[in-house]
Amino acid sequence: MSLTRGLASRLPSALPLVAKAPVVPVVVIERLEDAVPLARALVEGGLPLIEVTLRTAVALEAVRHIAAEVEGAIVGAGTVVERAQIEACLEAGATFLVSPGTTPSLAEAFAETPIPVMAGCATASEAMRLAELGFEVLKFFPAEASGGVAFLKSIAGPLPHLRFCPTGGIGPANAPDYLALPSVVAVGGSWVVPADAIRAGDFGKVRDLAKAAAGLKRAARFG
């Protein structure tokens, strides 16, 4: 059986998860003690889907604590770039995975993963290949540097079936432009989890930013 035919029938859909809110917070957790109150603030603000990036030493433990202690949180792991990370993410309790890009070997590893994956792409060819493999929602990264809204508009005509979660360079000023596109299920962003607010323990600010982001409108309904 070819990799293409094998993948398409096995991948859990990411669409029901990503469709829960218009913004997926992209979180960098430096201190483990911040993980639970940060996640609670995001959930209270209306953003239950939380991507904890594997960029710090405490990231996996943060996923574990959020999964075990924060009711309503749907916590996943981002910046997954190699097969060895997948099992650790699953063991920590991640409910979805996100990659910045997707090599053939990583796509094959994702095919064996029992949870949804947002595989990363930056070009039309990459997006077409991932859709062919059965990935239902693609992470378009780095969005602004890769053509942004104009790029997504330009491929919507020939590739209307593709669905994206653009991430990279997105904030409150341009998020509505992305969400106005029928192909965009949600956007990923770190503006709702500013580092200075986290360092200061100002989770009320995070909750307020999340509430504003949760109120952003999407052009299309998904799920």
CA atoms of 137 and 15, how far apart (whole Å):
6
- To the nearest 10 degrees (0 to 180), the angle between helices 203-214 and 35-45 is 30
Task: Indicate which residues carry an active-site annotation.
Answer: 51, 139
Distance of CA 25 to CAs 20, 35, 124, 150, 167, Å? 12, 13, 25, 23, 10
CA-based nearest residue to 167, from 176, 178, 157: 178
Residue type, 57: A
SS3 label, residue 191: coil
In 3D space, the residue among 53, 51, 183 whose CA is nearest the CA of residue 127 turns out to be: 183
User: Position of tokens 């809204």?
Assistant: 149
When computed from its CA atoms, the radius of gyration of the chain, rounded to whole angstroms, is 16
Distance from C-alpha of 85 to C-alpha of 88, rounded to nearest angstrom: 5
* Structure tokens that stand for 218 in this block: 């999407």
43/70 Cα distance (integer angstroms): 8
Q: Output the six-digit token pair for 11.
A: 């991948």
